[in-house]
């Protein structure tokens, strides 16, 4: 997978869906982030057509179908409207920082007899449903699965974007809008995506951060990477320096005078 100098995917790899409403270029050294979404739509084409409509105040750079087909709406040097009201770490308003990738997927499902029903009323077979716990929730529920070719296509595109642009971060919509959004959800291997692709880049450039600064007013430090895990010690104060030892499921294992787990978005890495 390659990206041309005009910021579109290489010819023959995608179908263009015209989306002239998006015209604002990214700022200097941007984009540097990829945001992964699911569509909660019936097909990739219908979702792409909807996002391209002039009367819809949302859009995305790409929509990836369950068969691996790709629809590109916006060139990668232009801001799309996929993140909405969003924040993570010390940033807000992720549209201006990020490329938005939508995956054709129904999201959460409700089991009814032998079928699994989406929020828009479409029924899916048991083979397309998985019972799993969302990273921002406490209990399991059913989610629409992603296909192998769809996931691989997403990995290939992200790898091409990392090679072409200044991409340093991959996040889920659920991480920049917790409580409001749940995509891409637990059926998508988000942690594997960023660990495989971004860790390789960091190893190649020797840029893996090992130190950081607390940016929350007080940051709980826990015995394991879970919001329900026991506290390791008193909260770490703002601006405290930490050593980053490990990353797992949106958490960082850090050391101050003690060692424990903290939420990743409240640490500003120092490179």
Give the pLDDT band of residue 209 (cuts 50, 70, 90). low
> Which of the listed residues 183, 205, 227 is the one where a domain comes to its end?
205
Instruction: Tell me: do 61 and 174 sit in the same domain.
Output: yes
> Which of the listed residues 173, 205, 237 is the one where a domain comes to its end?
205
Q: In 140-199, at which residue ranges do the beta strands (DSSP E only) sit?
A: 140-144, 169-172
Whole-number pLDDT of residue 203: 52
33-38/62-64 β-pairing: unpaired
> Which of the listed residues 205, 238, 255 is the one where a domain comes to its end?
205
Bond before 146 cis per omega within 30 degrees? no
pLDDT digits (tens, 9 = 90+) for 65-122: 999 999 999 999 999 999 999 999 889 999 999 999 999 999 999 999 999 999 999 9
Instruction: Tell me: do 170 and 220 sit in the same domain.
Output: no
CATH number, domain of 157, equals 3.40.80.10
Give dist(CA 233, CA 95) in Å, integer. 37
pLDDT digits (tens, 9 = 90+) for 154-179: 999 999 999 999 899 999 999 999 99
pTM above 0.85, yes or no: no
Is the separation of the CB atoms in 100 and 172 below 8 Å?
A: no
218-219/236-237 β-pairing: antiparallel
What is the domain extent for residue 256? 211-270
Q: How many domains does the chain have?
A: 2
Give the pLDDT band of residue 202 (cuts 50, 70, 90). low
Instruction: Tell me: do 221 and 190 sit in the same domain.
Output: no
Mean pLDDT of 145-149: 96
Residues marked as catalytic: 102
């Amino acid at each position: 997978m390659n990206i041309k100098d005009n910021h579109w995917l290489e010819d023959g790899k995608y179908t263009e869906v015209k989306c002239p409403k998006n015209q604002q270029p990214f700022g200097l050294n941007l984009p540097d982030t990829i945001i992964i979404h699911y569509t909660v739509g019936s097909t990739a084409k219908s979702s792409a057509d909807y996002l391209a409509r002039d009367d819809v105040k949302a859009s995305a750079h790409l929509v990836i179908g369950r068969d691996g087909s790709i629809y590109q709406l916006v060139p990668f040097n232009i801001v799309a409207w996929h993140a909405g009201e969003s924040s993570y770490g010390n940033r807000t308003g992720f549209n201006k920082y990020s490329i938005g990738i939508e995956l054709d997927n129904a999201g959460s499902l409700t089991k009814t007899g032998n079928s699994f029903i989406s929020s828009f009323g479409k029924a899916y077979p048991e083979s397309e449903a998985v019972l799993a716990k969302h990273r921002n929730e406490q209990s399991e529920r059913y989610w629409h699965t992603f296909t192998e070719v769809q996931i691989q296509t997403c990995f290939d595109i992200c790898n091409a974007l990392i090679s072409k642009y200044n991409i340093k971060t991959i996040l889920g919509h659920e991480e920049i809008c917790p409580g409001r959004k749940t995509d891409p959800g637990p059926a998508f291997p988000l942690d594997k995506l960023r660990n495989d692709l971004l860790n390789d880049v960091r190893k190649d450039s020797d840029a893996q951060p090992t130190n950081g600064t607390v940016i929350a007013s007080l940051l709980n430090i826990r015995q394991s990477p879970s919001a329900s895990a026991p506290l390791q010690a008193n909260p770490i104060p703002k601006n405290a320096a930490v050593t980053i030892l490990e990353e797992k499921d949106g958490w960082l294992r850090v050391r101050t005078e003690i060692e424990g787990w903290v939420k990743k978005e409240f640490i500003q890495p120092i490179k």
